[in-house]
Amino acid sequence: MRVFILLSVTLVATLASLVSSEPRVICYWPSWSIRRKGDFKHAPEDINGTLCTHIHYAFALLDEKNLKPIDSNGSPQVDLYHRINALKKQNPDLKHVLSIGGWGDKGEKYSHMVSNPEKRRRFIHNAIEYLQKYHFDGLDIDWEYPVCWQGNCNHNANADKQNFGMLLHVSFSINSKFHQF
């Protein structure tokens, strides 16, 4: 199984356009939509798997203590992961991507993780293990935002940009089988 660590949807789309002329349709499925009421409730089975090339399961959070992804509910939502993966029966080329971060995840956790080479390596190792265990095809890191956590740029964390680049550099080095995604 190939595993990829990617910066954001923008980077995914940019890389895809550089590598292939095939169009990419990236769809986010927010895990909380299953708990909505009435017309706003949306289950994995409601997704037409032929409309998307990638489905991002949103959002996992960064467990800062253990440096690994955790589901926003605190534990893996194995049933939901399997239900989204089942969409590959409709579209065998569909990629199932775990999105970690988002507006609800605190930026300083990511800043602390990327600022330390050993923490970066541990996170990458743990993320790959999580992705393989639950059959994800990739990871979307939706850190909002390096240097400007949740839009507040007064943290004096200017090293975030360089350190985030180091996280991506190390992850691509570890994932030497990086191919077209």
DSSP class of residue 99? E
> What residues act catalytically?
144
DSSP 117-169: HHHHHHHHHHHHHHHHHTT-SEEEEE-S-SSSBTTB--S--TTHHHHHHHHHH
Quote the CA–CA distance of 88 and 68 in Å, as a whole number.
26
